[in-house]
Chains A and B, each alone.
Chain A
Amino acid sequence: EPEVTQTPSHQVTQMGQEVILRCVPISNHLYFYWYRQILGQKVEFLVSFYNNEISEKSEIFDDQFSVERPDGSNFTLKIRSTKLEDSAMYFCASSESPQGGEQYFGPGTRLTVT
């Protein structure tokens, strides 16, 4: 069964450093998403992406964040200058269709900023 994959599973970085989180969505999906979950908190929407551009983004997704689909398979989330409060689990998801389409989540990348 096709699945969303994410790398790395755990990333430790120092405050102020740039990090890139990688995702490989399900191959025939066209809509891609990033979410984050701070430890003990609920999952929060960050951004959705379709047709090589951002469809929607939340208030969390400020200028420190960017997303890219550098090739036909990868979808990345970049944090330019990490802060302690960026420490969280980051989930990538993909779906065949928007709105009502089933979103399939990856296993997540645990980002720890020290």
Chain B
Amino acid sequence: KNQVEQSPQSLIILEGKNCTLQCNYTVSPFSNLRWYKQDTGRGPVSLTIMTFSENTKSNGRYTATLDADTKQSSLHITASQLSDSASYICVVTPYGNNRLAFGKGNQVVVIP
């Protein structure tokens, strides 16, 4: 069964600080790996998408990395802002179908 595991489950960081979120997956082979941001009560919004051949992708203060050999990805948030408080979800698309495999998310709370 496809699995996407994320850590830490939740974290609290001070405004202006950096943080790194981890994603380990067992989906293989896969087409792409995405990071989504989900605000409470809202739908997920795409931050980055990487194919298996890419190992880094940036979107403003968000930088995602991918190591397809170890099946690990990370999302780094630089200079966090209060609006970064959300759940960050790692999603893997298996090769050959559209059944996205979602992680449970990293719940980030940024405090002043």
Binding site for B on A (CB under 8 A): 4, 31, 33, 35, 41-45, 48, 55-56, 58, 89, 91, 93, 98-100, 102-108, 110
- Contact flag A107-B99 (CB < 8 Å), given A41-B104, A100-B31: no
The tally of CB-CB contacts under 8 A between chains A and B is 58
Name the residue of chain A whose CB is nearest to the CB of B45: A105
Contact with A along B40-54 (1 / 0, CB 8 A): 011111100101000
Please tell me which one of the listed residues A31, A56, A58, A107 contacts residue B42 in the complex, with CB atoms under 8 A apart: A107
Q: Are A43 and B97 in contact (CB under 8 A)?
A: no
Taking the closest CB of chain A, its distance from the CB of B69, in whole angstroms, is 20
> A45–B31 contact, CB under 8 A?
no
Instruction: Jot down 9 A-B pairs with beta carbons below 8 A, ordered by A.
Output: A31-B98, A35-B100, A44-B102, A45-B100, A58-B99, A99-B93, A99-B98, A100-B51, A100-B93
Contacts of B101 in A (CB 8 A): 45
Q: How far is the CA of A55 from the CA of B35 in the complex (A)?
A: 24
Interface residues of B (CB under 8 A from A): 31-32, 36, 41-46, 49, 51, 89, 93, 96-105
Give the nearest-CB partner of B44 in chain A: A105
| A98 to B, closest residue via Cβ | B98
A102 adjacent to B49 (CB under 8 Å): yes
A45 with B99: in contact, given A107-B42, A108-B43 (CB under 8 Å)? Answer: yes
* Shortest beta-carbon distance from B11 to chain A in Å: 17
Q: Inside 8 A of A89's CB, which chain B residues have their CB?
A: 41
Query: Whole-angstrom distance between the alpha carbons of A55 and B42 in the complex?
Result: 26
Q: Say yes or no: A107 contacts B43, CB within 8 Å.
A: yes
Contacts of A105 in B (CB 8 A): 36, 43-45
The smallest C-beta distance from A16 to any residue of chain B, in angstroms, reads 27
Rounded to whole angstroms, the CA-CA distance of A41 and B89 in the bound complex is: 12
